[in-house]
Amino acid sequence: MLTLEHFQTAESILRGVILDTGLVFSPSFSKQSGNNVWFKPENMQITGAYKIRGALYKVSLLSPKQREHGIITASAGNHAQGIGFAAQYYNANATIVMPETTPLVKVNNTKAYGVQVVLEGNLYDDAHASAVKLAEENQYAFVHPFNDLDVAAGQGTLAFEILRALPETDVILVPIGGGGLIAGLATLAKILKPNVQVIGVEPTGAACMKVSKNANKITSLQKVETIADGAAVRTPGDLVFPFVQKYVDDIITIEDSILADVFLDMMESHKMIVENAGLLSAAALNYLGQHLGIRDKNVVALLSGGNMDVITISSLVQHGLRRRGRIFTFRVRLPDRPGELYRIAGIIANERGNIVELQHNQFVDVNRTSDKGTELVVTVESFGNEHKNTILTALSQEGYSAERD
């Protein structure tokens, strides 16, 4: 069982080693959601994620002989870095098996702790199977990233920090992967404040916990498809599942497309980098009022991690800007004669658009004397979708048929 004493012991081990990341009030997300919103920024934690809590506590419970002989785990990245830190802290030997699709920054950051990294499979489940096999062959101590009550106890210490910082908390939003985080956090939160609501958030393409909770039994997904790689789990943990059933009030699912918008909001409003899985709770904020009728409450959304590679960050920014119409691309066919390019640029300038990129192809048609013998592809910065439509309308009124990419 997970008891108050269990969580207190975990906190005593973690105190002074990891950070109390506090709470950050968000005026912008509060206004959008109709609630008073605070973020718990575990993206600012040592190793860049909450996973260090469970990893460090679990490794602390292993014997010196077990640590010396070797520990092993499987992880999509954040638990790997947690185990890496714990292995370094306790001078243990560790092997981490990670999916081949793990972002490079997570792989390199894990290696930096001096542990051995093995890349295997496309999903966490593939890496897990490989790690279990290696553990059996080498008699390593296996540290599960979520299906372990000691690990869950370490993750659950977040509830101490949240309720100390904001005793008036009404709702806690928690991302879900395999269930260790929410099992520990929900259990302790309900012990400390029985009337607090704990709501889990999963990606729609990897909602194994919601499916299992609805079925009242562990259920595996046939496939997992989500950009939230830290939550890309096919089967929830059977040891932590009973605690999710008992203490989690509801589970929300979020489409991947929403995460790009929220990523941009987080960067612009709070200047924070939060990975896709860590953004699930923030993405669920608008869902509370619109679908659950939760308004004017004190809501804490856990930002569970911030380990992202630069390419993914760039992609999310681009997608977010394009979804909002703040960057858009159009192509238009023109006659090949002097002044046409100048005329297009003038129309955009008159509507206060800003040209970001321009490609002028004079060889799109073998008949260069045609009225459509040249193609212009233009990327424009605008103030949003309404402004974008104004620019496109102005082009149309001047006789240009612009096709949006």
Name the CA radius of gyration of the chain, rounded. Answer: 25
Could you tell me if 55 and 67 are in contact, meaning their C-beta atoms sit under 8 angstroms apart? no
Q: Is there a single domain that holds both residue 234 and residue 356?
A: no
Domain tally for the chain? Answer: 3
Q: Is there a single domain that holds both residue 109 and residue 61?
A: yes
CATH number at residue 89: 3.40.50.1100
Q: Is there a single domain that holds both residue 170 and residue 122?
A: no
Single out the residue in 293, 318, 343 at which a domain terminates. Answer: 318
Q: Is there a single domain that holds both residue 157 and residue 140?
A: no
**E strand intervals along 229-290:** 250-254
Could you tell me if 378 and 384 are in contact, meaning their C-beta atoms sit under 8 angstroms apart? no
Single out the residue in 124, 144, 164 at which a domain terminates. Answer: 144
Give the domain range for residue 106: 52-144
Q: Is there a single domain that holds both residue 117 and residue 167?
A: no
Cα separation, 8 vs 298, in Å, equals 25
The tens digit of pLDDT for each residue in 51-110 reads: 999 999 999 999 999 999 999 999 878 999 999 999 999 999 999 999 898 878 778 889
Q: What is the pTM of this model?
A: 0.89
Q: Is there a single domain that holds both residue 204 and residue 231?
A: yes
Q: Is there a single domain that holds both residue 59 and residue 46?
A: no
Single out the residue in 318, 337, 363 at which a domain terminates. Answer: 318
The tens digit of pLDDT for each residue in 233-287 reads: 899 999 999 999 999 999 999 999 899 889 999 999 999 999 999 999 999 999 9
The tens digit of pLDDT for each residue in 190-222 reads: 999 999 999 999 999 999 999 999 999 999 999
CB 252: neighbour CB atoms within 10 A?
22
CATH number at residue 372: 3.30.70.260
Could you tell me if 49 and 74 are in contact, meaning their C-beta atoms sit under 8 angstroms apart? no
Q: Is there a single domain that holds both residue 242 and residue 176?
A: yes
List alpha helices for 166-239, DSSP H: 180-192, 208-215
β-pairing, 197-203 vs 171-175, is: parallel
Close Cβ partners of 402 (under 8 Å, ≥ 6 residues apart) = 330, 331, 332, 392, 395, 396
Q: Is there a single domain that holds both residue 292 and residue 332?
A: no
β-pairing, 197-203 vs 250-254, is: parallel
How far, in Å, are 54, 197, 244, 302, 347 from residue 214 at the CA level?
Answer: 27, 18, 12, 23, 55
Q: Is there a single domain that holds both residue 30 and residue 70?
A: no
Q: Is there a single domain that holds both residue 308 and residue 213?
A: yes
